Structure 1
Amino acid sequence: MVALVPARGGSKRIPRKNIKPFRGTPLIARVVDTLVGSGLFDQVVVSTDDDEIAAIAEEAGAQVPFRRPPELSGDHAGTRPVIQHAINELIAAGVAVEELCVSYPAAVFVSGQDLSTGLDLLRSSDAQFVMTAASFPAPVKRALTVGEDGLARMLWPEFALSRSQDLGEVYHDAGQFYWGTRDAWQTGPSVLTARTVLHVLPHWQVQDIDTPEDWERAELIHQLAEGLTR
């Protein structure tokens, strides 16, 4: 069983984000520690183009058996080709890859139990993928936009008089981890259009870390959550 952490070195909005200390520990080291500590994986592999990221990841317990090529390391490189490259490298090295979990350095709120639940969902269903999700905090069917005249417009005016409790839950990608079969990763459609099961997380556990403000908020929430579980 393999976990893959894509972690390139070229973060722009938070320079060197993947190795920046998050509450005193390099960001990537936190997710590696969670993945290793879950006991689910024979290997936790980091795909990176950066020597410093590789060294910190290896010190945390990950393996970095290859370097990501430059054409997969730019600002516009998609995630799927990075995953496929990693799978091909692992298979060429004799590693059996049947089910693969992809997580990210910023997934600092993921728990071993969440990872285990995701694997159970993949194996107990006919799904190609399992992804984390969270419900939108407000009814999206009552979303507004602003017209050229400066006035509010409903995107779906047919729901203007609907009660919010009648509109049903709608979810978004939480970006914490993605389980998938090897075939699904290599030849399947997008996670968002494939046969995908959702593992729904509470809102506090879903935090983007893309800006300095995001970073500060995530550290505060992480500290509070850690205090509550002690």
Structure 2
Amino acid sequence: MEKAIAIITARGGSKRIPGKNIKNFCGKPIIAYSIEAALKSGLFSEVMVSTDSQKIAQIAQEYGASVPFMRSAKTADDYATTSDVIMEVMDNYKKLGRTFEYICCIYPTAPFVTAQKLIAAQTIMEEKHPVMVMPMTAFSYPPQRCYVMNDDGFMGYKYPQYSRTRSQDLEKQYHDAGQFYVYNAEKYLALHGQVNEGVMPIIVSELEVQDIDNEDDWKIAELKYQLMASR
């Protein structure tokens, strides 16, 4: 059994940002940042890209990733989940006679991933033995104070019991940074990718977190990346 594999999930279809996974981001294809961080970490015996696109596969290989097989049509449609992709990849490697102790799934549009973050997550995995380690960041505004729209179009507190509570007295809450996930492979596969417990975080700054779903998000991510790189 090999120690760890990095799986970068990069299908070809992207409707909101065409060619999103290989679009130029601060000077190079955005997927290159995920590949380079994984390679630089030195954690993985295999850094691979799961894709259905020959163009993505070519660029991935140019930056040092392997593409030993192409993603199936079933896991390349709009309804396939990340866990569907990982399960397929691991099954294909098993057929090749290769198994791994740890799985690291890295998104292809995650330029804030660094080798240091991957190493920190892997260290937690080996020392604390959770099912999963993932980057998280605190909500910048307390979710307990959120508004929702009523049927008549008026706004109201979703949680009125917190309407007069000071922000500093509210429990801090966190969300997925949407960058990468490190799994204990045996536990992950036994759960068929449905991990709801046994999760440990590495906490990252909000300046290093950005969902990229549209062109405005892309511009904000580039500004944040340039700020991070200058520090």
* Secondary structure at 1:71 match in 2: coil
Check whether the contact 2:135–2:178 (CA below 8 A) recurs between aligned residues.
yes
Aligned counterpart, 2:170: 167
- 4+ residue segments displaced more than 3 Å: none
Aligned counterpart, 1:208: 211
Aligned counterpart, 1:100: 103
1:114-193 equivalence runs, <5 A? 114-188=117-191, 190-191=194-195, 193=196
Check whether the contact 1:129–1:184 (CA below 8 A) recurs between aligned residues.
no
Structure 2 counterpart of 1:153, which letter? G
**Identical amino acids, percent of aligned pairs:** 39
- How far is 1:151 from its partner? 2.8
Report the aligned-residue RMSD.
1.2
Check whether the contact 2:208–2:228 (CA below 8 A) recurs between aligned residues.
no
- How far is 1:184 from its partner? 2.8
TM-score normalised by L of structure 2: 0.94
CA separation in 2, counterparts of 1:99 and 1:76? 26
Q: Deviations over 1:147-182 (max 9, x none)?
A: 123332211111122111111210111111100011
Check whether the contact 1:145–1:154 (CA below 8 A) recurs between aligned residues.
yes
CA separation in 2, counterparts of 1:148 and 1:55? 50
Q: Deviations over 1:32-54 (max 9, x none)?
A: 01110111111101101110100
* Secondary structure at 2:94 match in 1: helix
CA separation in 2, counterparts of 1:63 and 1:105? 14
Count of aligned pairs: 227
1:60-71 equivalence runs, <5 A? 60-71=63-74
For structure 2, the residue ranges without an aligned partner over 5 or more in a row are none
For structure 1, the residue ranges without an aligned partner over 5 or more in a row are none
- How far is 1:14 from its partner? 0.6
Structure 2 counterpart of 1:6, which letter? T
Which stretch shows the higher mean deviation, 35-44 or 151-160? Answer: 151-160
